[in-house]
Copies of this chain bind each other. A is one copy, B any other.
Amino acid sequence: MTLSEKFRRGDLMSAACPSREVLKHMTSRWGVLVLIALEGDSYRFSQLRRAIGGVSERMLAQTLQWLEADGLVLRTAYDVVPPHVEYRLTPLGVEAAERVRLLADWIETNLPRIAENWRGSVE
């Protein structure tokens, strides 16, 4: 098996595999939240920023650019003033967002079970 054959389908355990980059974008601190937010609806930049608590404009812009470059998010700019830009998921992005949301949902519902382990120093 040649290297290119090995990487046609990704191999995350190999340091050199490009799938590592995709993983990095999708599981980045804000990438996860962007995908989940956009799963429900399309958003404008500032709207998305308000929906996701705590993102800086800088990081939101960067995250959206990553996801756009990976073909998960579609950016549509209307040339008006004030600027109007819409972000929505591509079909590929919808599939990705589903998986990410499953993970996020699990964390949200199981937070109590996880948090039990934090009480170590108390008691």
The residue from B12, B51, B92 contacting A36, defined by CB atoms under 8 A apart: B12
A107 interface hit (Cβ, 8 Å): yes
A111 interface hit (Cβ, 8 Å): yes
Binding site for B on A (CB under 8 A): 7-16, 18-19, 22-24, 26-29, 32-33, 36-37, 51-54, 69-72, 92, 95-96, 99-100, 102-104, 106-118, 120
A1 to chain B, nearest CB (A): 15
Instruction: Apart from A18-B111, A96-B106, A102-B103, list 8 A-B contacts with CB within 8 A.
Output: A9-B108, A13-B53, A19-B111, A26-B103, A27-B27, A71-B116, A92-B110, A96-B107
For A69, the chain B residues whose CB sits under 8 A away are 117-118, 120
Q: How far is the CA of A111 from the CA of B69 in the complex (A)?
A: 13
> A107 to B19, Cβ gap below 8 A?
yes
Knowing A19-B107, A106-B99 are in contact, say whether A117-B71 is a contact too (CB < 8 A): yes
A116 to chain B, nearest CB (A): 7
